[in-house]
Amino acid sequence: MPRPDKVEKVKEIRKYFDSVNAVIVTEYRGLNVKDMAELRKSLRENDVEYRVLKNTLVRIALRDTKSEPVLALVEGPIAVAFVRGDVSKAAQALISYSRAKPELKVKGGFIEGRLVEAPGIRTIATLPPREVLLARLVGTMNMPVSNLVGVLSGPSRSLVQVLNAIRDKKEEAA
């Protein structure tokens, strides 16, 4: 018979997994409390909640859910970063912290319905923020229109230059 407190924790874990954009699973073995507090603080700035979870409760909570593929990453002491904001910022924060503290190992994540291994998380960490990507997309979409305007204005610009040259010659002659 499951204990009521464990049942509540399982419900809470399931709720966390269902309410976020992405999760990133890490192994924290070797980090002390001070390091964990520092990591949590840096992640909180990026709208990420970082929680240490019991593997057994995670396995029970994720059984028969859309997040079930995460179970492949649940091995050893794990902590999960629940990302509500920009995934690339969260990945950048975790990867940069793992460079400073090699004890923290990024195992992988679950982003938009797909399991992502650790190299994929590193790749996501190198992406620019969402706003920059959108600005680049708009710039790329706007480029053909700008080029068309340049091409169409070329003949009229040339005509104006020719007329100015003729006027300058007539002024010199006079």
Distance in angstroms between the alpha carbons of the first and the last residue of the chain: 109
Supply the pLDDT for residue 108. 92
Residues 42 and 123 in one domain: yes
We report the CATH number of the domain holding residue 39 as: 3.30.70.1730
Residues 63 and 12 in one domain: yes
Q: How far is CA 34 from CA 31, 40, 41, 46, 93, in A?
A: 8, 10, 11, 19, 17
Residues 111 and 138 in one domain: no
Burial of 123: CB neighbours in 10 Å, binned 0-12, 13-18, 19+: middle
Supply the pLDDT for residue 134. 84
Q: Say how far residue 49 (Cα) sits from the centre of its chain.
A: 14
Supply the pLDDT for residue 16. 86
Residues 17 and 97 in one domain: yes
Residues 49 and 22 in one domain: yes
Supply the pLDDT for residue 105. 93
Residues 113 and 134 in one domain: no
Residues 113 and 28 in one domain: yes
Residues 145 and 79 in one domain: no
Query: Phi/psi at 53 (nearest 5 deg)?
Result: -125, 150
Supply the pLDDT for residue 148. 66
What is the model's pTM? 0.73
Supply the pLDDT for residue 169. 85
CA 118 – CA 65 distance, rounded (Å): 22
Residues 137 and 57 in one domain: no
Q: Among 90, 109, 127, give the residue marking a domain's end.
A: 127
**Positions of the chain with pLDDT lower than 70, given as ranges:** 1, 148-149
CA 39 – CA 121 distance, rounded (Å): 17
Q: Say how far residue 2 (Cα) sits from the centre of its chain.
A: 37
Residues 85 and 165 in one domain: no
Burial of 12: CB neighbours in 10 Å, binned 0-12, 13-18, 19+: middle
Residues 84 and 168 in one domain: no
Domain range enclosing 152: 129-174
Contact 62, 17 (CB under 8 A): yes
CA 25 – CA 109 distance, rounded (Å): 6
Residues 115 and 172 in one domain: no
Query: Strand pairing partners for 116?
Result: 109
Query: What's the domain count of the chain?
Result: 2
